[in-house]
Amino acid sequence: MAFKRRGINRVATISVHTSPLDQAGTGDAGGMNVYILEVVKRLAALGIEVEIFTRRTARDLPPVVELSPGVLVRHVTAGPYEELDRADLPAQLCAFLSGVLRTEAMYDPGRYDVIHSHYWLSGQVGWLAKERWGVPLVHTMHTMAKVKNLLLAEGDRPEPASRVLGEEQVVEVADRLVANTRAEAEELIQLYAAPPDRVAVVNPGVNLTVFQPGSKAAARTRLRLPDDAHVLLFVGRIQPLKGPDVLLRAAARMLDDRPELRSRLVVACVGGPSGNGLAHPSMLTDLAAELGISDVVRLAPPSPQHELADWYRAADITVVPSHNESFGLVALESQACGTPVVAASVGGLRTAVQDGVSGLLVEGHDPHDWARALDGLIEHPGRLRALAANAVTHATAFGWSGTAARLVEVYAGAMAQLHHTPIAVIS
For residues 184-199, average pLDDT: 97
pTM: 0.87
CA dihedral 401, 44, 118, 24 (to 10 degrees): 70
The whole-number average pLDDT for the span 98-125 is 96
Cα–Cα distance, 204 to 31 (Å, whole number): 10
Indicate the pairing of strand 64-68 with strand 10-15: unpaired
pLDDT of residue 274: 59
Evaluate if residue 167 carries a pLDDT over 60. yes
Report the SS3 class of residue 274: coil
pLDDT band at 168 (very low <50, low <70, confident <90, very high): very high
* pLDDT at site 4: 43
Residue 84 predicted with pLDDT over 90: no
Calculate the average pLDDT of the chain.
Answer: 91
- Quote the percentage of the chain above a pLDDT of 90: 79
Q: How large is the greatest C-alpha to C-alpha distance in the chain, in angstroms? A: 71
Could you tell me which residue, 136 or 419, shows the higher pLDDT?
Answer: 136
Alpha-carbon distances of 248 from 78, 215, 233, 278, 341, rounded to whole Å: 39, 27, 11, 19, 16
Binding-site residues for 1D-myo-inositol 3-phosphate, please? 17, 28-33, 86, 119, 143, 163
Mean pLDDT on 101-123:
96
What is the pLDDT confidence band of residue 104, given thresholds at 50, 70 and 90?
Answer: very high
Lowest mean pLDDT among 26-30, 104-108, 346-350, 371-375: 26-30
In this prediction, residue 190 has a pLDDT band, given cuts at 50, 70 and 90, of very high
Average the pLDDT over 401-423 and give the result: 89
Those residues with Cβ within 8 angstroms of residue 227's Cβ, 6 or more apart along the chain or in another chain = 217, 220
Q: What is the mean pLDDT of residues 171-195?
A: 96
Q: Which residues are annotated as a binding site for UDP-N-acetyl-alpha-D-glucosamine?
A: 31, 237, 242, 325, 333
CB-based contacts of 285, cutoff 8 Å, min separation 6: 294, 299
Helices (H), 47-153: 93-105, 120-133, 145-150
The dihedral through the CA atoms of 72, 68, 25, 63 has a sign that is negative
CA 79 to chain centre: 25
Q: Please give the share of the chain, as a percent, with pLDDT higher than 70.
A: 93
Q: What pLDDT, on the 0 to 100 scale, is given for residue 3? A: 41
pLDDT at residue 331 above 60?
yes
pLDDT band, very low/low/confident/very high, at 280 (cuts 50, 70, 90): low
Q: Distance between CA 246 and CA 68 in Å, rounded?
A: 39
- The DSSP bridge partners found for residue 343 are 320, 361
Give the residue numbers of the binding site: 17, 28-33, 86, 119, 143, 163, 237, 242, 312-313, 315, 325, 333, 339
| pLDDT of 278 strictly over 80 | no
* CA distances in angstroms from 276 to 233, 251, 283, 326, 346, listed in the order given: 22, 23, 11, 19, 20
Query: How much is the pLDDT for 144?
Result: 95
Phi, psi of 109 (to 5 degrees): -55, 150
Q: How confident is the model at residue 27 (pLDDT cuts 50, 70, 90)?
A: low
